[in-house]
Structure 1
Amino acid sequence: MIHATGRVLVSDLREHVGRTVSVSGWVNTLRLLSKVQFVVVRDHTGMVQVTHQRGGDSDAVEAALQGLTPESAVRVTGRVADNPIVKLHGLEIIPETVEALSRAETPLPIDEHTGLEHRLDWRFLDVRRRPAAQLLFAVQTTLEQGMREYAYGQGCTEMHTPKLMGTASESGAEVFELGYFGRSAYLAQSPQFFKQMAIAAGIDKVFEIGPVFRAEPSFTSRHATEFTGVDVELAWIDGVEDVMAFEERMLAHAIARVVDAHGEAILELLGVEVTAPTVPFPRITMAEAQQILRAQGWDPQGVKEDLDPEGERRIAAHIREQTGHEWVFVTHYPTSIRPFYHMRPPDSPGVTLSFDLLWKGLEVTTGAQREHRYDVLVKQAEEKGLRPEPMQDYLNCFRYGCPPHGGLGMGLGRVLMVLLGFDSIREATFLFRGPNRLTP
């Protein structure tokens, strides 16, 4: 027997026609006929047919193939041969040895007809068996790489902030409380306060990709109790426009990277044509958005201060109709529905210098210019009914010279969900966490 050196990926087999190679992967399908055995082996780059003419009782390869089951992990060593009849790239492997590394039990717990919730129970099998699911993680990697490239190019320092907090951030609602050496600790809802501490520490521009926890009992297609946040904080800004400009350029850069690396695969496997957005994105104030929506019959009582999901979809559709753009910044949210640390313009104290970014009608980002003046910040906290004492560590950052700054928090899963045309954030996450799901 000729020994192959190292593992060859299925996608590289064309370069090895006529040679003996070793391929490792999973059994995709088996067709074990009376005279010939066909086994399709799949790795993360593609599938190849293994073709073996039965040799009888003393045929070790025949016996090995006969003992396989779908999804068994195997290593096949054999000669790569051209065969134009074979649908899989006109190639096949004529095996010399077949090693069952791990035999899969039968029957499998999921198949192509299994619904999403049950597939999530067996997520490792779900991802392994579906190239479209594996594509998600390749796209996620490229998207994050593109965001980091842009952030680094703008002089950002990547930070890793604590996920354990001694006091509940912001209002204290929607936080997970846990025991911590005889007292309570809380999982961070956001790296917000820590990002601002980094700004006060003289780190000019802050960037983080990390876990975020929200104890929201929400059972929607867009909520999760743990998700990956993309957070940015920028010092010495002239206004909130600087933050929006940073984000739109970062997204345009990162999505262009995805188009270059995965655009064809996304179209082939998911039927979605991804295009890099042009900048600048359209902007519209909350007041303007509400006026447009109410003229269409939204919120007939005229009482909603915030946009509900229907309002977000409608205003995004309106902007797309008017401008052809899928993205829109909705700005100047009312003070009543924004945190105490959002800056308020002196000539219009009823609104905040804040924004949400919508993509195809889904909110993917919230951002704002922060209030950096200690006395104003304390006053705004008290107006919201918050006592300064539990937040003293945070407030101290503003007592000794804090620069004007602003930032944003983006949900990575939501961006991927829209990018890839998924119906639910559950599909845009490896292992989803929600009110009813803590496993696997």
Structure 2
Amino acid sequence: MGGAGQIDRTTSNNANTGVYCTFIIFGVLGGAIVNLLGIRWTIFASGLTYSLYSSSYISYNHTGSGTFTIATGPILGIGAGILWSAQGMVMMSYPVESQKGKYISIFWVIFNLGGVIGGIVPFVVNYSQGKGNIATPLPDSCYAAFVGLQALGSLSALCLAPPQRVIRDDGSHVVLMRYTNVKYELMEVLKLFVNPWILFLIPISLASNFFYTYQYGPYNGALFTLRTRGLNSMLYWAAQMAAAYAISFLHDRESLSRRQRGLLSLGLMAILCNAMWALTMVMQLRYTRGADDKNPSNDYPGGLIDLTEPGRAVGPILLYIFMGAVDAHVQSFAYWLIGTMTNDSQMLARYAGFYKGIQSLGATVAWQLDAQNVSLMGQVIANWALIVVALPFTYYVTSRIKDHAEDSIEQPADDWLMRADGGKSDYI
């Protein structure tokens, strides 16, 4: 919603800095925490941190002090790192190998439905403002609704079946359980930093959330009226839903080998990303700081773009929709690629956490670039350069995809719940 629904984005920006700082650490550690404690209680507890963060804005509405909100940012980052590790493990380890693209797309559709709803709120609230740039903060009732929904989501996690009880459609078990403890998990996390396949994915991990800062702020935030920004948000996330669903058919196309599917998807991603940033650069050449009425460098031709001006609005809005579709492709491909490395739920929890941690590092850098007033053209160049650098590293991993992960062959039923030394796993 931009600035978490507030007029002044300062408090939200400071809170987001705290979010991403702890997200980096607990993203990397999240997989280990999930493996130790299981998915139900980790998702339940981490989901509550979202409710805490949303509730802080009710306090902000009444006190005008951002202290509580800023303090909840790092707490939310801890919860987010753990939550996304658990989510990634479920999404990538539960399906059979031929359906991983489908499961990723189902998640992405549900996930981005929240973004569509988030875009509806400022669109409806600010529609009557016309072309003006005057807005009011979201009322307490909106934040209370978010708190309630987030708390309900947290409670629903307690209904999840433990992974060791989940059996896939083909009769295979989701989890090949091994004994785990804190020392073991910490050692496995450290191994991620010397795993060549994971290290080769660091560039695409950095790039995959880096561009949000530019797209949300210097593009959507700087060029459009408030009601048009809300419309753009709805269309951006709706495009993500459609694109994630469409790319799943390629990722699960059994007539092609997994390596062929991966290379085709990566090639398409490379074309789309370069086309998107080329078009974005063309747009960026038309302004330096945008058309914010509070900014003295109101330099976009004609001022703020409004949805009632089709001649000016259609092209920029279509580009923003394109940005959403490309993002869905990048994210879906990254998750699908990680999912081809293994079917081991414990490893995938660590991989997902590491991916989200590095993602958050990239997001932190990107937010700071904007906070330090790096030129918008400089931000475009940084985004484009980062994805170009990531492509050859990602190609190296993609070109070595196997049709079946080495751990995809099920062990005998009597073995899958046993430790290597014959004892039962503590996890069970």
Give the TM-score normalised by structure 2.
0.22
| Higher strand proportion | 1
Greater RCO structure (CA 8 Å; 6+ sep): 2
- Structure holding more helix per residue: 2
